[in-house]
Chains A and B, each alone.
Chain A
Amino acid sequence: MKRITIATVIFVLSTAALELAFRHLAHATFFWHKLPAFDFVYGVLGCGLIVLGSKWVGHKFVQRNVNYYDNQLDEPGQLDH
């Protein structure tokens, strides 16, 4: 855990420094293209959003028991976990 945290911090800081150092070479169209480490933050938040959002949608509306189509036993809204 500690090693991963240190490695992540080093990675983020070094790439952010690279972005700042070579900012003049970057082909920035939108403001976030100029923000250092934006893609890292977007990756963390986006991944969290996809996992938690999809699970919520899945449990609420989408997932059914495995025999839902085969035997048509349960009704929408029922899901055994």
Chain B
Amino acid sequence: MMIHPGLVLFLTAAIVPFVHGTARRVALAAGTVAALISWESLDFTSGWQLSVGEYSLTLLHVDPLSLVFSLIFTIVTFVGILYALHNDSAGEHVSTLIYAGSSLGVVLAGDWATLFVFWELMAVSSLFLIWQSGTERSARAGYHYLLVHIFGGSLLFAGILVHLARGGEFAITALMASDTDPLAFWLILLGVAINAAIPPLHAWLTDAYPEASVTGSVFLSAFTTKTAVYVLLRLFPGADVLVWAGVAMALYGVVYAVLENDIRRLLAYHIISQVGYMVAGVGMGTDLALNGATAHAFSHILYKSVLFMGMGAVIYATGLRKLTELGGIADRMKLVVILYAVGACSISGFPLFNGFISKSMIISAAAESHLPIVELLLTLASIGTFLHTGLKLPYFTFFGPKKDLELRPLPLNMLVAMGVGAILCTLYGVVPSLLYGLLPFGAEYHPYTLDHVVSAYQLLAGTAIAFWLLIGKLGGEATVSVDTDWFYRRPFKSLIEQLVAAIHSAGQLASTTGRTLIAYAWAFSQAPTGAGKRPDNPQAEDYDPYRFRFPIGMTVFWVVVYFALVAIAALL
């Protein structure tokens, strides 16, 4: 019998608030291990169906693509929860488990409605991880995140409705530009592109992820962009536009990472860069490229979690997050340095680490597809990756000039979680068949050929030499980098402020006018003797009966005239 791993995590989330201390930690560990065991129960022969009205929802649909993604999602949930075990915040654990469970819900969804519901649940639950750190910056970043994801979700929803209204299938199938309604195609693609953080729709990521709690950012780095990659793989394989979007992403992240001073924002820019490889792979659309995108998503989730855990450990120990404030702590954080280095070697594509076996697959696919510029530009982005996460970030964080910093001891569970992540990065790098055996498309690839390995080492060595020569230019600068978030931070913010001011003024005008009208109406509703003392005018003069005699006399006169006319008419 199949059990949905996401359901296991939802059930764990329901238990967590009601248990405390060790019992909570046991519940968290048991829940995530149970999710891993439930992944083992998944098979291709059956699914979970639920009839709602005339629709049949497929809550659980397993195929080779969803199987790979659900495996890595359950693994990283286990590793991330292990890293967060010391955390006493039940709210954060619940948000995390719902976020992970809904991400699994997306990759195991068999129909549009199920996908959309879990897609939105993912956005809402992840928002609470950003707000969890409780700072003003995280509150603002969370609101930006919410607005962007509401917009993205609306595009996706509108696209799904158009797709279904124009005869599209309710089950999720690939959307080919040639036989899909163009409006539905572009609305869905844009909605997913926002979650994939394709520039210029990416600023929510670099704005929000560094503001989350130390433990929360590990999960954020894993799920949202990778579910988007999964949906792109599912819906848009071979969409040409994604090749160049992916290349642009890969380079965009690298350029901004050079300028970044915040250690987690630097890693966030490298999420964009790495997701760029996957998006380009989806766009190429060959079996090798699609396998490469899938494999790279798998590898990326693992090594990025190690990198975020490493930098999270630095923030936890020092309370600092800027390169300009850090340095000279390597001898007091040796284990963190070693484990971080494994993540850095993996993302940089060192042979024997998992980034090498997946990234090289996408670059080789570009060559195989006869896309020379794409191959060269993705290789250039790869240079930037090693430069930042392999050299600049660890050098200035751990080895740079000593700053006499006080360090708080790290909880054991944080180190163990980093260790598990680092072991997995190495294991998949040394034994690539463990991952290749799961890949959904029928392409064969051998990463450990002489030319691949020599090329990788030459590229890394060349980068290291240039880093050494240019090290004086690479230190952090106490600046912020203006990105596309400028639009909603400056002109859009100003527009909203002016709109609010205009609405406020209109409200005030309406209120004043209303009060004036009521004041006049009030006078007519009173007995004539009291009309002179209206509540809005207590200083008014006393009642003067002669003031009202003329109009009363006139009224009586006209009534008499009216009756006289009626009487004459009756007589005639």
Using CB atoms and an 8 Å cutoff, list the residues of chain A in contact with chain B. Answer: 4, 8, 11-12, 15, 18-19, 22, 25-30, 33, 37-55, 57-58, 61-66, 68-69, 72, 76, 79, 81
Which of chain B's residues 366-400 have a Cβ closer than 8 Å to chain A?
Answer: 367-368, 370, 372, 375-376, 379-380, 383-384, 387
CB-defined contacts of A41 to chain B, threshold 8 Å: 462
Chain B: interface residue total (CB-CB under 8 A): 46
Q: Which of B86-94, B186-194, B447-455 contacts A (4 or more CB under 8 A)?
A: B447-455
CB-defined contacts of A39 to chain B, threshold 8 Å: 379, 454-456, 458-459, 462
Contact status of A25 and B383, CB under 8 A, knowing A57-B255, A63-B479, A64-B480: no
Flag if A25 contacts B449 (CB, 8 Å).
yes
The interface bits of chain B over 226-264 (1 if a CB of A lies within 8 angstroms of the residue's CB, else 0) are: 000000000000000000000000000011101100000
Flag if B462 contacts A44 (CB, 8 Å).
yes
Flag if A25 contacts B480 (CB, 8 Å).
no
Tell me the minimal C-beta distance from B30 to chain A in angstroms. Answer: 43
Tell me the minimal C-beta distance from B449 to chain A in angstroms. Answer: 7
Flag if A51 contacts B466 (CB, 8 Å).
yes
Flag if A62 contacts B462 (CB, 8 Å).
no
CB-defined contacts of A52 to chain B, threshold 8 Å: 470, 473
Which DSSP category, helix, strand, loop or mixed, fits chain B's interface? helix
Contact status of A22 and B466, CB under 8 A, knowing A30-B367, A54-B258, A81-B477: no
Using CB atoms and an 8 Å cutoff, list the residues of chain B in contact with chain A. Answer: 254-256, 258-259, 367-368, 370, 372, 375-376, 379-380, 383-384, 387, 449-451, 454-463, 465-470, 473-474, 477-483, 489-490
CB-defined contacts of A22 to chain B, threshold 8 Å: 450-451
Complex Cα distance A72/B372, Å?
44
What are some 28 contacts across the A-B interface (CB < 8 A)?
A: A8-B465, A11-B457, A12-B461, A22-B451, A26-B450, A33-B451, A39-B462, A46-B383, A46-B466, A47-B383, A47-B387, A47-B466, A50-B380, A50-B387, A51-B474, A53-B255, A57-B255, A63-B259, A63-B477, A63-B479, A63-B482, A64-B480, A64-B481, A65-B480, A66-B478, A66-B479, A66-B480, A81-B477
Flag if B450 contacts A18 (CB, 8 Å).
yes
Flag if A15 contacts B480 (CB, 8 Å).
no
Contact of B259 among A28, A29, A37, A62 (CB under 8 A): A62
Flag if A54 contacts B255 (CB, 8 Å).
yes
CB-defined contacts of B457 to chain A, threshold 8 Å: 11, 15
Contact of A43 among B258, B459, B477 (CB under 8 A): B459
Tell me the minimal C-beta distance from B465 to chain A in angstroms. Answer: 6
Which DSSP category, helix, strand, loop or mixed, fits chain A's interface? helix
Tell me the minimal C-beta distance from A16 to chain B in angstroms. Answer: 8
Shortest Cβ distance from A28 into B: residue: B451
CB-defined contacts of B372 to chain A, threshold 8 Å: 30
Contact of B468 among A4, A29, A53 (CB under 8 A): A4
CB-defined contacts of A48 to chain B, threshold 8 Å: 466, 469-470
CB-defined contacts of B454 to chain A, threshold 8 Å: 15, 18-19, 39
Flag if A58 contacts B458 (CB, 8 Å).
no
Question: Which of B456, B461, B462, B466 counts the most chain A CB atoms within 10 A?
Answer: B462
Complex Cα distance A79/B479, Å?
8
CB-defined contacts of A65 to chain B, threshold 8 Å: 479-480
Complex Cα distance A52/B255, Å?
10
CB-defined contacts of B459 to chain A, threshold 8 Å: 39-40, 42-43
Flag if B465 contacts A44 (CB, 8 Å).
yes
Question: Which of B368, B383, B483 counts the most chain A CB atoms within 10 A?
Answer: B383
Question: Which of A38, A46, A48 counts the most chain B CB atoms within 10 A?
Answer: A46
Flag if A43 contacts B460 (CB, 8 Å).
yes
Tell me the minimal C-beta distance from B376 to chain A in angstroms. Answer: 8
Flag if B482 contacts A64 (CB, 8 Å).
yes
Tell me the minimal C-beta distance from A49 to chain B in angstroms. Answer: 8
Flag if B367 contacts A29 (CB, 8 Å).
yes
Tell me the minimal C-beta distance from B111 to chain A in angstroms. Answer: 41
Flag if A68 contacts B480 (CB, 8 Å).
yes
Complex Cα distance A61/B539, Å?
64
Shortest Cβ distance from B258 into A: residue: A54
Tell me the minimal C-beta distance from B572 to chain A in angstroms. Answer: 84
CB-defined contacts of A25 to chain B, threshold 8 Å: 449-451
Complex Cα distance A12/B458, Å?
7
Contact of B463 among A46, A64, A69 (CB under 8 A): A46
Complex Cα distance A46/B255, Å?
12
Flag if B258 contacts A58 (CB, 8 Å).
yes
Contact of A11 among B367, B368, B450, B461 (CB under 8 A): B461
Complex Cα distance A25/B455, Å?
14
CB-defined contacts of B376 to chain A, threshold 8 Å: 42
Contact status of A69 and B473, CB under 8 A, knowing A18-B450, A55-B258, A58-B481: no
Complex Cα distance A28/B456, Å?
15
Flag if B463 contacts A43 (CB, 8 Å).
yes
Complex Cα distance A29/B371, Å?
10
Tell me the minimal C-beta distance from B302 to chain A in angstroms. Answer: 25
Contact status of A29 and B462, CB under 8 A, knowing A50-B383, A62-B259: no
Contact of A19 among B451, B466, B483 (CB under 8 A): B451
Flag if A69 contacts B480 (CB, 8 Å).
yes
